[in-house]
Amino acid sequence: MASGDQIPLLAAALLCALLAADSAVVERTFHVGNLTVSPLCERRVITAVNGKLPGPTIRAREGDTLLVLVVNHSPYGITIHWHGVFQKQSGWADGPSMITQCPIRPGGSYAYRFNVSGQEGTLWWHAHASFLRATVHGALIIRPRNRSFPFRTPHRQVPILLGEWWNADVVDLEKQAFLTGGGIVNVSDAFTINGKPGELYPRCKNHTYKLEVVSGETYLLRIINSALHSQLFFKIAGHSFTVVAVDASYTKPYDTDVVVIAAGQTVDALMVANAPSSRYYMAARPYFSSAGGPPSFDNTTATAIVRYADADDDAPPWMPRMPALNDTPTAHRFYTNLTGLRRPGAPAVPLEVEEHMFVTVGLGVLACEPTQVVCNRSRGTLGASMNNVSFRFPTAMSLLEAHFRGFHAEYQSDFPDRPPAMFDFTNNSLNTDPRLAPLLRTQRGTKVKRLKYNATVEMVLQNTAFIGAENHPLHLHGFNFFVLAQGFGNYNATTARSGFNLVDPQVRNTIGVPAGGWAVIRFVADNPGVWIMHCHLEQHVPLGLATVFVVENGTTPDSVLPPPPPDFPAC
Ligand code: C2O
């Protein structure tokens, strides 16, 4: 029989067991393989996970451990990235090809193991090799551990994955752009909502996603832009939204009738079914920010149907009035009006900065590669860069492995903190100014920026107008960052600093750097490992619009990168 003072001990042990049982291991198997689909009424074989497009939704709770075994039945080398997951102590599971791992070979497998501590909201997973994420992607939803949201509990939660579809094979698409297309990728054939293009494209069986709603109920739409190359406007006729989170970071409630979402970003929006019983289109179409850039883009519109229980199915659904394709004021209003929701225990904006970086972001011209079949040797080929370094992916070993094993020959640690020259970055005439020609010509390199553990980094991201100014959604792996300010023209520290939001800035993992403008972000390098930062317009990645942070180990056991897992894929 338990004596008097054993009872509290037993109770404590029981409580511990309950708490431990509370954080679960969520196990999944992803079979990557062929799937036949026909979104535009013609049959196509794509690469997909578990025979689904979009792939399976993973649901977890804050603090859970995820264990996803990826089995590659496809003919391509594949990796999966868990977009927005910090990967603390699990950098080997981050996924970008040749940055944190070599691809899983056809016939191979790899178990991604990581936790989602301190994170909740809508994230997603996608392939991070070639253009495969066009069809290899899905939602990753992290619910609060205690089941309570910092807003009214919705009746239902609905993942809305916005996608971009090509009739062509997407791996061929990338090869063709590089070998013969001068770096330019053919435009897509459709946009999709949960894998379906909707009624404004050729109509065939099962081509429209439908959301049945009940009058008076509240829906949490977990919107993910998984399109390869497009920022999107998203609306639902007759309804408005309250945005409550972006990139799995809560925001102050923000009321709007339009959501603007860059490739890679997520938006959690509440929608109340408070319209007259009927059918309403939800619609997604591009926000095309480019001035003087690539001449053509996919200007089509994806639709889905929101249907009230007793709606008349013979009447055509209501269509929302969409913003103009180049409506930068609407995009900028949405992107800049969001503020973060400050919650107890959440990190505050660091006020002391150790690493000040000023980084230009944009297109440029590269020397032809010997493998390019069609390339004008004197004019060069389309490229992209950050601070005039066009990132070249290593080929022999991933950077994380090279860093871990001390193979420093794989990369150089001299990614510059500033561009080679300061000039009028956003002036379109810089394309014709012969004095700037050397800056238009960027250099390839595998250059990384080394950071001490826990260093605070401020990056001014300055868009350039080389070739064409365009909003580049820059995504940072391994961290969230605070967005302190955004604006147009050349960044001016004196005027910009007074406008920094140091109180309640939005927290993101992907920032659309305004076309012909700039953005300022801050983050704390509290995550040892190797982290890529890149444009989430996929076509800009092989052009070189990327850089890498190498964060050194700290001095405590939980600030040291552990060794790779036993099944880590070899090159
Ligand atoms: Cu969602 Cu490195 O990507």
Predicted confidence (pLDDT) per residue in 124-136, tens digit:
999 999 999 999 9
Band (241; pLDDT cuts 50, 70, 90): very high
Band (4; pLDDT cuts 50, 70, 90): very low
Atom of ligand 1 minimally distant from the CA of 126: 1
3-state secondary structure of 430: helix
> Ligand 1 centroid vs 226 CA: distance in angstroms?
10
Band (372; pLDDT cuts 50, 70, 90): confident
> Ligand 1 centroid vs 152 CA: distance in angstroms?
31
What is the strand order of the sheet 456-463 is part of? 443-445, 389-391, 381-386, 355-366, 456-463, 517-524, 481-488, 507-508
> Ligand 1 centroid vs 20 CA: distance in angstroms?
31
pLDDT at 294: 56
Whether residue 54 is preceded by a cis peptide bond, meaning omega within 30 degrees of 0, is yes
> Ligand 1 centroid vs 44 CA: distance in angstroms?
25
Alpha-carbon distance of 79 to 75, in angstroms, equals 13
Residues in CB range of 168: below 8 A, 6 or more apart: 186
Which architecture characterizes domain 151-341 according to CATH? Sandwich (2.60)
CATH of domain 355-559: 2.60.40.420
Atom of ligand 1 minimally distant from the CA of 96: 2
At position 21, the amino acid (one-letter code) is: A
Q: Are 23 and 63 in contact (CB under 8 A)?
A: yes
> Ligand 1 centroid vs 340 CA: distance in angstroms?
22
Q: What is the mean pLDDT of residues 537-550?
A: 96
Atom of ligand 1 minimally distant from the CA of 510: 1
For ligand 1, atom 3, name the residue with the nearest CA: 83
Atom of ligand 1 minimally distant from the CA of 534: 2
> Ligand 1 centroid vs 230 CA: distance in angstroms?
14
pLDDT at 369 over 70: yes
CATH T-level fold of 1-149: Immunoglobulin-like (2.60.40)
Domain boundaries, the chain: 1-149, 151-341, 355-559
Atom of ligand 1 minimally distant from the CA of 477: 2
Max Cα–Cα distance, the chain, nearest Å:
91
Band (182; pLDDT cuts 50, 70, 90): confident
Predicted confidence (pLDDT) per residue in 59-88, tens digit:
999 999 999 999 999 999 999 999 999 999
> Ligand 1 centroid vs 285 CA: distance in angstroms?
21
Name all residues whose Cβ lies below 6 A of ligand 1.
Answer: 81, 83, 96, 126, 128, 264, 475, 477, 532, 534, 536
> Ligand 1 centroid vs 306 CA: distance in angstroms?
30
Atom of ligand 1 minimally distant from the CA of 95: 2
Tally of helices (H runs) and strands (E runs) in the chain: 7, 32
> Ligand 1 centroid vs 319 CA: distance in angstroms?
32
Predicted confidence (pLDDT) per residue in 159-168, tens digit:
999 999 999 9
pLDDT at 151 over 90: yes
pLDDT at 1: 37
CA nearest 545: which of 452, 458, 471, 486? Answer: 471
pLDDT at 3: 43
pLDDT at 232: 98
Are β-strands 355-366 and 381-386 bridged in parallel, bridged antiparallel, or unpaired? antiparallel
> Ligand 1 centroid vs 221 CA: distance in angstroms?
21
Task: Retrieve residue 19's tokens.
Answer: 């708490």
Alpha-carbon distance of 71 to 79, in angstroms, equals 10
pLDDT at 16 over 60: no
Atom of ligand 1 minimally distant from the CA of 124: 1
Q: How many CA atoms lie within 13 Å of 375's alpha carbon, on the beta-carbon side?
A: 21
Q: What is the mean pLDDT of residues 438-467?
A: 95
Q: Are 158 and 213 in contact (CB under 8 A)?
A: no
At position 54, the amino acid (one-letter code) is: P
> Ligand 1 centroid vs 412 CA: distance in angstroms?
23
> Ligand 1 centroid vs 18 CA: distance in angstroms?
36
Predicted confidence (pLDDT) per residue in 459-517, tens digit:
999 999 998 889 999 999 999 999 999 999 999 999 999 999 999 999 999 999 999 99
Average pLDDT, the chain: 94
Atom of ligand 1 minimally distant from the CA of 133: 1
pLDDT at 437 over 90: no
CA nearest 101: which of 391, 386, 404, 389? Answer: 404
Alpha-carbon distance of 241 to 270, in angstroms, equals 5
Atom of ligand 1 minimally distant from the CA of 264: 1
For ligand 1, atom 1, name the residue with the nearest CA: 83
Helix (H) or strand (E) holding 127: strand 121-127
Q: What is the mean pLDDT of residues 402-411?
A: 94
